Structure 1
Amino acid sequence: MMRRWAILAAALAGFTALPALAQPPAKREAIRIGILSDLSGSFADVAGPGSVVAAQLAAEDFGGRAAGLPVQILSGDHQNRADTGSALARRWFDTEGVDAVVDLPNSAIALAVGEVARTANRVALVTAAVASRLTGEACSPNLIHYALDTWSMSNVPSRALVQAGGTSWFYVTADYAFGHDLEKQSMEAVTRAGGAVLGAVRHPLGTTDFSSVLLQAQASRAKVVALANSQADFINSMKQTSEFGLARRGQRVVGLAVYISDIVSLGLEATQGATVVGSWYWDLNDGTRAFARRFGERMGGRMPTDLQANVYAAVTHFLRAVEASGQSTDGQAVVARMKALPTQDAIFGRGAIRADGRRISPVYVFNVKAPAESRGRYDVYKLEREVPAEEAYRPIDQGGCPLVRGG
């Protein structure tokens, strides 16, 4: 009798366990994209709230749905701290059903969140950070890099200016890893192009008085003075190059990490004649102007930066890959589909994503207009040259990315 009860109990136990084993996975309710940015700090103008608007516009233009699901845009502030950004991304992935994290100004945060995305097998679309490591030794099957990196920001203007007669260079460099990287890669490009480096001086982060630095730049008699810094450091140093009259004395000033918001903040009187490099500008063609008008309507008349345009392109291409694959939870599969599909959108046109995760699209050399040439506050650039892709990006076999055969 006891044996019969034991057999019956075992059978009932097996029967009651079957429904639990057969339960389908929880039904997904939406495709969720998190814009992880600096919403109120030093990167807020170049990315920040404008990146959220760009993502919303991309989702709307895609029809608001992908793979039969509504698209939702979330936003969060990483406060320029890698631990804060990583914790928020982890929570989004683990408990809030976020499929992709986008934007990520600040390279330390982008590298940290990229690793979180790899561990969770979600997607990281880096549209703002510039570390070349993101497609080098730190490349990931879960990450795509949309923003120009330090290789492009250094090599493109250096080669272009040497070819245009700027054969001697002096560097004003922010004294931390980002500045060192820009300086080193630019110096190497200048030398390869046949130019000469006459000197360099480094300044602490947050310097406000560049007078002694610029006196050394003047004394060098270099044809090109390169500002290997960014944000407030670039603004302060650029303003003082104008006050010192470097351009009037025949020295050409180039900013290696400049965004349109920097030029607008400084004004054309202080920046006219400067050389800058970018991957996008709002006044390039009818498509860029149409996007800029819509963006400006939501941003109080501001025109988008190239980083904010990157967000639009990244979200658009991500949704195309989700639509094509029919799912979004397998980050590596979605990234692989993004690499397989040519990129195509109304503001960048046609491009591609390499095996190392590098987005390939046009790169431009601009000159900053004189005040008399400008028709409005955001009319700041004259196009000097569109750079061929083979010159604009680090060769894929030179980055050390483990995803690249022989890399």
Structure 2
Amino acid sequence: RLFSMDEYPVYVKAGSIIPYYGKVKNLSGTNQPVIVRVFPGGSEGDFLLYEDNGEDKNYVSEYATTPLSYQRNGNTLSVTIGERKGSYKDMPARRDYTVALPCQKAPASVKVDGKEVAFTYDGLNLETCIALGSIDCSKGAAIEVSFPSADYAVMAGEKGQFHRIQNAVQDFKQHDAGMVYTEDFGFLEATPLRLSYHPETQDETLAHFHKLYKKLPLVLIEQMGKNQNFDRFMRQVGEDGKMVVEVSPEAFSTAAGTGFDLRYFPNKALEGEAKATGHLEKMDFFIGGSPTQGIPENYWSMTAESTFTAPETGNVMFVMTGDDAYRLIVDGKELFSDWGDHAETTRNAAIPVEAGKKYNIRIEYYDNEYNAILRMQTLFFK
């Protein structure tokens, strides 16, 4: 498990039940609220909560203990705050208790002493909190938690991923305050809120989060491109080991050599016979006039064809920016298109590739008026 510089690990034995103090306002008091945390990973567990008045030497004979225990059976968790035994000076008759279930999915229902009660779910910390209020310490309480299924634990590092993504997004906003979220990037950031507000869809939400996180480089490149923001984000979430490299132009080839074979048409619709041909070693141009002899300065179109040889097995992302229309076709399948009159836009898509395998690339483009712009960046990641 990895940790960032501002995190420190606290290791807890699977299945432990550990009491915590809540917000302590006075160290000399004896009525502090107690949070009983039941950690995932075990079928049963217990803890003996000790208390005394903390102000004299009578703790040897004047103290009290409260048994805390739990049992899991399928999708049901039973937590018991037992009857307190013993006594000491200024011992409170009642105490505020909260039961917390960290790193676990939200329950379907919760009952306390047979009566259904409300609970809250913290999606960022993946923790259910059941506020019991003031409990008669001589009687205790029985809590029954029903989960939607026996698959209740969330312990694959999601909590750390949530926190690091939140921090990285805040940093990204400082460097690009005007950005508009892509759907996938927005989902990654909003996953904790989705879990908090809609726990009934938590399985679908977590499954989609896992899917997006596995292709995090792709999600980030779609959002911000391959730049300093990308590199910084990957470092902040601890995933900078996932290399994303630009593919050499030599991976694209035709009979004429490295690059793309071009065919030009004197119209925007790629209609009729090509009036000129050409070759580009790299798909990157900015043209303020006619692209070649016999083609007008405006209202022309072009096709570019090449064979792409995958350098390694993994994933390749094509990032294309154009003004005006463009589309990318790989092995006869359109990957993306922004076909119409418009200012400069960017589109991208990724495909899995096998080392040494060849893929047929076709780019279609037209220029309406003024400057003609088209450039393509090809990125590889595993």
Q: Shorter-chain-normalised TM-score: which range? A: under 0.3
Larger Rg: 2
Q: Which has the larger strand fraction?
A: 2
More helix by share: 1
Using CA pairs under 8 Å that are at least 6 residues apart, name the structure with larger relative contact order, 1 or 2: 1
The alignment's TM-score, normalised by the length of structure 2, stands at 0.26
Q: What's the TM-score once normalised by structure 1's chain length?
A: 0.25
